[in-house]
Amino acid sequence: MGPPLIQACINGARPPAAHPALPVTPVEIASDIAAVLRAGADGVHLHPKDVDGLDTLDPDAVDAVITAARFVLPSRPIGVTTGAWALRDPAARVAAVRRWSVLPDLASVNWHESGSEAVTAALLERGIAVEAGLWTVEDVREWAVSPLRDHAVRVLLELPEGIGDAQVVILAQEMLDRVRAVAPDIPVLLHGEAHSAWPALRHALRLGLQARIGLEDTLRLPDGSVTPDNAALVRAARSIADQQAVDVGLPEQDDSAS
């Protein structure tokens, strides 16, 4: 088993005022991607933004940010959101995806959202890999019976904010068991939000799952202090991963290749 995959989720649906280092414009996002790569990230998940700094699926905005991101990240995966908060009407989301000209490698689809299967089908038509975002046990159940289930290249198990360390372990295991029952070989990325972000990352690494960290999921470092930027979060995550690797005798991440 090699070093764990750690994805940087660099902005999320947060508005620009949420943190002074939150990347919003294509130039800011590209600069931040370069920084998180140096810090040890293996890939990036980003949310394209409009002129007000709010999430959008507008083709011009998506094309601009993916063009900028690809310049600094030519050979590692770039993922984007298709969250319904960016465009409420499912038909409009499908139409937007079909008008993208510069394509990301991946797009996450939240399975509980209306129109998730139609959005998934549109992404697959464009050759964009789909990550199934599963927020609850019920989401796992619905994904498990979907005719598009086996087209997902990865499952994102997304744990809620208001749970403690023990609840992270319990809920993650229940969701993971249900995923493995129907798709035993699919890659799984486990992550939390706010208070559950670091417990979820540690648990993901213990289980040998993929993990992620960034300003989308938390504004704080493991010690509770406010992070200066995404790179500091990724460095902290990589440090945790390296320490766990030492504990079990695995090779540490070689940051010189980042």
pLDDT in tens, 112-131: 999 999 999 999 999 999 99
pLDDT of residue 247: 72
Domain containing 183 — which CATH number?
3.20.20.70
Residue 64 falls within a domain, yes or no?
yes
Which pair of tokens denotes residue 24? 């919003």
**Residue 248 predicted with pLDDT over 80:** no
Residue 257 falls within a domain, yes or no?
no
**Residue 257 predicted with pLDDT over 70:** no
Residue 233 falls within a domain, yes or no?
yes
CB 150 within 8 A of CB 127: no
- Other C-beta atoms within 10 Å of 226: how many? 11
- List of residues 6+ apart from 119 with CB closer than 8 A: 82, 90, 93, 94, 97, 109, 113
- Mean pLDDT value across residues 189-193: 98
Domain enclosing residue 111, as ranges: 6-248
- Identify the weakest region by mean pLDDT among 1-10, 16-25, 123-132: 1-10
pLDDT category at 4 given cuts 50, 70, 90 is confident
Residue 46 falls within a domain, yes or no?
yes
Residue 1 falls within a domain, yes or no?
no
pLDDT category at 255 given cuts 50, 70, 90 is very low
Residue 35 falls within a domain, yes or no?
yes
How many domains is the chain partitioned into structurally? 1
pLDDT of residue 250: 52
pLDDT of residue 220: 98
Residue 37 falls within a domain, yes or no?
yes
Which candidate, 76, 116, 74, 75, places its Cα nearest to that of 97? 116
pLDDT of residue 245: 76
Which pair of tokens denotes residue 112? 């509980």
Rounded Cα–Cα distance for residues 54 and 15 (Å): 6
- List of residues 6+ apart from 187 with CB closer than 8 A: 153, 154, 155, 210
State percent of the chain over pLDDT 90.
Answer: 91
**Residue 2 predicted with pLDDT over 60:** no
Mean pLDDT over all residues of the chain?
94
CB 105 within 8 A of CB 126: no
- Mean pLDDT value across residues 2-15: 91
Residue 193 falls within a domain, yes or no?
yes
Rounded Cα–Cα distance for residues 225 and 6 (Å): 21
